[in-house]
């Protein structure tokens, strides 16, 4: 192997880190893109390095010794002969959707990341702050939160206010300077190793986005990537119903979860060993033993049936398809103030824009 600047000589591997953002194509990367990388060249697993990645998602990096981390990581590499290791975890940068793990600790996290993976290639996917904040809000409501949009963003009496409590989902609506985050990655790892992507480019020109990503990772794909949307956002009507449901029935979730675990989650999990992840049914049938086809078929049926027993899946895949009523859940006043603020903040992203078209999503014009 060539010992170029992209290779960590201690690990004897090229380390590629997808560091965020959450709600910026992260699910699409994990489900549709990274699993289709040529497995003879790139090792990508969302579980093999779970304990190492976990020190970031749980904030444990503050109490983790760098030398011990690297030794443990190297030990797990002993039976991996792939030349590139890809880790995908947006909590490398932080996650404002999780109380206590937001970007106030960004510099601490990134400094630790530099110490444990000093020669890593960085993949950082951004999304304009306004759409991004709305998407995060949708997500926390879908998983049980009851906050209003104003409460979530700290908007009170016509102004955005800094949050006072770090133990809930209140955030600072004006506190997300992505350009300073990019600059810090560049400062630590070097411009040639920091690759800034934009979700808007994925939407506008998916083929080029995937090709540029492939160049960074340095290998081909074993399968064609279908650039369909992975996470479909709920309509404003469904989101309002979900908040109402969260307020009324939150105490009943335990009984529902027990039912789902016994009849759906557990069987789906047990049958997983016969299936092939992220592959169409007919493709799987061609590559497994005939006696395992019924198990795969049953698992796929249970997955389809699970839509009826999960509120968010039911509303998105059934209710929203029957009656789709949407409106701007952010509101005109908050949207205008956010645009004015981030149009100034995002000027720092100019060196990272890949094309002129992307600017309109970040450098908002006065209305």
pLDDT in 10s for each residue of the chain, 367 residues: 444 567 999 999 999 999 989 999 998 999 889 999 999 999 998 889 999 998 887 778 989 999 999 999 999 999 999 999 999 998 899 888 776 667 888 999 999 999 999 999 999 999 999 999 999 999 888 888 888 999 999 899 999 988 765 556 788 899 999 999 999 999 999 999 999 999 999 999 999 999 999 999 999 988 888 776 545 577 888 888 888 888 876 644 444 566 667 767 788 888 988 888 777 888 888 888 898 899 989 988 888 776 556 767 777 777 777 888 888 999 999 999 999 999 999 999 999 998 999 999 999 875 5
Rounded Cα gap, residues 137 and 88, in angstroms: 22
Q: What's 177's DSSP letter?
A: -
- pLDDT score, position 56: 87
Two tokens at 155? 């908007």
Which residues on neighbouring strands pair with residue 196, listed in sequence order?
Answer: 124
Run of H or E residues at 174: none
Rounded Cα gap, residues 96 and 136, in angstroms: 8
Which residue spans of the chain are classified as CATH 3.40.50.300? 7-231+330-361
Q: What's 358's DSSP letter?
A: G
- How does 80-98 read in b/e, with b if 16+ C-beta sit within 10 Å? eebbbbbbbbbbbbbbbbe
- pLDDT score, position 71: 95
How, if at all, do strands 84-88 and 42-44 pair? parallel
Asked if CATH classification 3.40.50.300 holds for the domain at 7-231+330-361, the reply, yes or no, is: yes
- pLDDT score, position 327: 87
Q: What's 317's DSSP letter?
A: I
């Amino acid at each position: 192997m060539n010992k170029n600047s992209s290779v960590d000589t201690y690990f004897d591997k090229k380390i590629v880190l997808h560091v965020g953002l959450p709600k910026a194509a992260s699910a699409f990367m994990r489900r549709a893109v990274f699993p289709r990388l040529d497995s003879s060249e790139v090792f990508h697993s969302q579980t093999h390095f779970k304990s190492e990645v976990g020190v970031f998602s749980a904030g444990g990096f503050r109490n983790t010794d760098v030398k011990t981390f690297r030794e443990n990581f190297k030990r797990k590499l002993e039976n991996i002969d792939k030349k590139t290791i890809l880790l995908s975890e947006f909590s490398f940068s932080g996650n404002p959707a999780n109380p206590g793990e937001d970007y106030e600790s960004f510099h601490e996290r990134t400094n630790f990341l530099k110490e444990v993976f000093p020669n890593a290639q960085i993949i950082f996917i951004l999304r304009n702050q306004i759409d991004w904040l709305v998407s995060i809000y949708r997500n926390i409501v879908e998983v049980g939160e009851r906050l209003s949009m104003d409460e979530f963003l700290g908007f009170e009496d016509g102004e955005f206010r800094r949050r006072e409590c770090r133990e809930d989902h209140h955030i600072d609506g004006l506190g997300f300077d992505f350009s300073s985050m990019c600059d810090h990655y560049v400062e630590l790892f070097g411009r040639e190793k920091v690759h800034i992507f934009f979700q808007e480019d994925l939407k506008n020109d998916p083929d080029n986005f995937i090709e540029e990503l492939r160049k960074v990772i340095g290998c081909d794909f074993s399968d064609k990537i279908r650039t369909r949307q992975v996470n479909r956002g709920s309509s404003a009507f469904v989101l309002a119903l979900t908040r109402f449901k969260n307020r009324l029935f939150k105490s009943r979730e335990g009984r529902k979860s027990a039912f789902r675990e016994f009849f759906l989650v557990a069987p789906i999990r047990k049958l997983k060993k016969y299936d092939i992840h992220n592959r169409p049914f007919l493709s799987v049938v061609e590559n497994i033993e005939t006696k395992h086809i019924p198990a795969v078929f049953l698992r796929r049926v249970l997955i389809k049936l699970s839509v009826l027993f999960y509120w968010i899946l039911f509303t998105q895949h059934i209710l929203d398809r029957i009656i789709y009523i949407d409106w701007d859940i952010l509101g005109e006043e908050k949207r205008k103030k956010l645009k004015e603020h981030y149009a100034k903040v995002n000027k720092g992203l100019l060196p990272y824009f890949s094309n002129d078209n992307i600017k309109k999503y970040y450098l908002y014009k006065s209305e």
